[in-house]
């Protein structure tokens, strides 16, 4: 069993629970309470599973959507700070096993930048997790430039987590099975990442760092097509899309436990760009997958531990 750093491991706190509950309305009540119990545990239950599966360190982030769906900006800022303070206290109890991603109120770019800096410098968090768009506003919006500038200056990676689209996708209307993890979340999050690239965020802030789950939301598979089809249709950035992907984007294995997409991501982006996530408590089989998948042992160690240790300074 290989030692692992897990990057998409979720929790809940009093400030973010009210935003999470409405996302569970279609889930059986017994399952909701099981998840709630796991999300609010920072002690023996979580640590026992980590020990059993070889997770040496878990980087904790809230179970979305959190304050990003809040309409009152002042409330969002206040609740994000409360959530981060809560997480910092839990990490202080077991700093050898836990690290943190900041939760940010993206309704206010400057407040989000200030909170990110506080979390990185004072609370020693390792970056931030952002749950998709914020009330329909995506991270390529130029109003977010101060945030990206601060994140780049801090060297703080931004993990872009899936969220429901701002409006239902017409192409999959009537097929609820497609709406979320099977397809819709990947389309939404991959498109969001492409907006960030096409919007010139990495051109303006070349030291900015973006993390995507699910082995890159299918984007590594598409790099040749992105490059070959972008120039004839108005591409106006100095580097091709694939170069921004390879220089500014990292991916994790969360929810994608199969050898072909793993090999594609490693081949397309480089072996130093692929990391491990278990997506606890929603999707835990990734630990066994990484222990047994047929890859070189040095690559297994890089994906499981070394790449995240370098990127996050763990």
Quote the DSSP letter at residue 305: I
- From the candidates 108, 131, 140, 279, give the one annotated as an active-site residue: 279
Residues 6 or more apart whose CB falls under 8 angstroms from that of 200 comprise 140, 237
Which helix (H) or strand (E) segment holds residue 60: the answer is strand 55-62
- Taking the CB of residue 264, how many other CB atoms lie within 10 A of it? 17
According to DSSP, the residues that pair with 4 across neighbouring strands are 55
Question: How remote is the C-alpha of 16 from its chain's centroid?
Answer: 17
161 CB-side CA count, 13 A: 23
First to last CA, the chain: 20
According to DSSP, the residues that pair with 252 across neighbouring strands are 275
* CA torsion, ordered 158, 163, 169, 174, to nearest 10 deg: 150
User: Is there a catalytic annotation at residue 26?
Assistant: no
Burial (CB count <10 Å: 0-12, 13-18, 19+), residue 73? middle
How many Å apart are CA 73 and CA 67, to the nearest integer? 9
Which residues are identified as catalytic? 279
């Amino acid at each position: 069993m290989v030692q692992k750093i897990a990057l998409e491991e979720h929790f809940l706190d009093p400030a973010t629970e009210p935003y999470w509950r409405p996302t569970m309305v279609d889930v059986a009540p017994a399952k909701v309470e099981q998840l709630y119990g796991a999300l609010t545990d920072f002690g023996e239950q979580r640590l026992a599973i980590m020990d059993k599966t070889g997770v040496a360190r878990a980087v904790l982030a809230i179970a979305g959507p959190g304050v990003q769906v809040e309409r009152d900006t002042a409330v969002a800022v206040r609740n994000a700070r409360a959530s981060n303070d809560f997480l910092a206290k839990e990490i202080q109890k077991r700093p050898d096993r836990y690290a943190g991603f900041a939760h940010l109120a993206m309704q206010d770019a400057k407040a989000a930048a200030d909170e990110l800096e506080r979390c990185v410098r004072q609370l020693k968090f390792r970056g931030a997790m952002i749950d998709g768009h914020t009330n329909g506003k995506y991270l390529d919006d130029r109003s977010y430039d101060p945030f990206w500038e601060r994140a780049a200056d801090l060297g703080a990676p931004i993990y872009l987590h899936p969220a429901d689209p701002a409006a239902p996708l017409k192409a999959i209307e009537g097929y609820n099975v497609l709406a979320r993890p099977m397809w819709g979340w990947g389309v939404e999050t991959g498109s969001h990442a492409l907006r960030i690239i096409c919007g010139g965020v990495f051109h303006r802030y070349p030291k900015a760092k973006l993390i995507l789950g699910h082995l890159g939301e299918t984007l590594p598979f598409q790099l040749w097509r992105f490059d070959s089809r972008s120039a004839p249709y108005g591409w106006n950035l100095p580097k091709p899309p694939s170069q921004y992907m390879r220089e500014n984007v990292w991916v994790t294995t969360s929810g994608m436990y199969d050898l072909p997409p793993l090999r594609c991501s490693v081949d397309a982006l480089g072996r130093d760009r692929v990391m491990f996530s278990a997506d606890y408590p929603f999707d835990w089989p990734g630990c066994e997958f990484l222990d047994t998948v047929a890859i070189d042992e040095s690559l297994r160690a890089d994906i499981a531990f070394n790449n995240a240790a370098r990127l996050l300074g763990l």
